[in-house]
Amino acid sequence: MDIKTQLHNKAVQALAHAHSPYSKKQVGAAILMDDGKMYSGCNIENASYGGTVCAERVAIWKAISESKSRHIVEVVVVTDAIDPWPPCGMCLQVIAEFADPEQTLVHTANPNLIKKTFRFKDLLPEAFNSKFLKP
């Protein structure tokens, strides 16, 4: 099974764990790091609403806290919406921290298949990142 399909499967499995009693939307994400390891996450909502975390960021928190790698190669986001969802702006900003704008791929999918694939830089072309903080 190819990596993209493995990531999609992991994202679909994660989606089933969504804690989304408020929006009732289920989202799953899976990421591939450049050490070959995969991490997944689901959206986790909170009664305060503002405490909600998207599936993509849950997957990234897991990867960064459990892996030495700091480079995301591929991302798959799965929802059961007819038009699959791209990552929200805040997730794009977090992905930017660990992405190669030219190389990192973002796939949007429904539970059955991947519908669209973007290069990261096409989703967030002028990303604010660490290079702006260099002295």
* Residue number, 22 or 128, with CB nearest to ligand THU: 22
Distance of CA 84 to the CA centre of its chain: 13
Cβ nearer to ligand THU, comparing 21 with 135: 21
> Is position 45 an interface residue for ligand THU (rule: CB under 6 A)?
yes
Distance of closest approach, residue 68 Cβ to ligand THU, in angstroms: 26
- Residue 60 structure tokens: 């990234």
Applying CB under 6 A, does 39 fall inside the site for ligand THU?
no
Q: How far is the CB of 90 from ligand THU (least distance, A)?
A: 8
Number of residues that bind ligand THU (CB under 6 A): 14
Stretch that binds ligand THU, among 9-17, 52-60, 106-114, 122-130 (CB under 6 A): 52-60
Residues annotated as catalytic (active site), given as ranges: 56
Contact positions with ligand THU (CB under 6 A) in 72-131: 85, 87-88, 91
Which sign, positive or negative, has the C-alpha torsion 52, 54, 58, 63?
Answer: negative
Distance CA 40, CA 61 (A): 10
DSSP string, 62-99: HHHHH-S---EEEEEEEESSSSPPPPPHHHHHHHHHHB
What 3-state DSSP class applies to 134? coil
